[in-house]
Amino acid sequence: MISVIRITLVLQAAGTKSEQKKRNNTPFKCALKSIANIFVPLIPAFFGAGISGGIVSVFQNMTAAGRIEGEAWSYSIMVLNINKSGLFCYLNIYFGINAAKVFGATQGLGGVVAGIISSQGYTRTSMTIKNPIIRPNVNTCALYPGIL
């Protein structure tokens, strides 16, 4: 008798769960879930890159205010700036990888497309209809792997 009651309760719970899933499966909630699945794994990386950028900004402000001086500080700030730029550049690539994973595409291709889109080698002012010339720009993303 007790096992029959348990079985009916389990079946009722399964039925209510499936009803809740159907009710919560709206297009807006699915879109929000896709966006969350792309960004949530990158939250620690955003924190790390932001802290790195904050440290660089503090040192740059201290140099501008004259509190720290010297060639060693300027080189250190330059290296930290390259590090910050590299971190933010690779965040874009990981964003592309996560987006490809969520939407069912090839992850490597997603990273490559995100890297091309975020490339600093192309500027908006250099490409117009009348002047379709690509002028190279300083690409700090290409410098970062060379440092490692």
Write down the domain spans for the chain: 30-147
pLDDT tens-digit map of 53-103: 999 999 999 998 888 888 888 888 898 888 888 888 889 899 999 999 999
Averaged pLDDT for residues 29-49: 90
pTM of the model: 0.62
Q: What is the mean pLDDT of residues 40-65?
A: 91
Query: Comparing C-alpha atoms, which of 107, 111, 108 is closest to residue 92?
Result: 111
* pLDDT band of 24, cuts 50, 70, 90: confident
Residue-level pLDDT at 11: 60
Q: Choose the weakest-confidence range: 5-14, 49-58, 126-135.
A: 126-135
pLDDT for 107 equals 93
Q: What is the mean pLDDT of residues 38-54?
A: 91
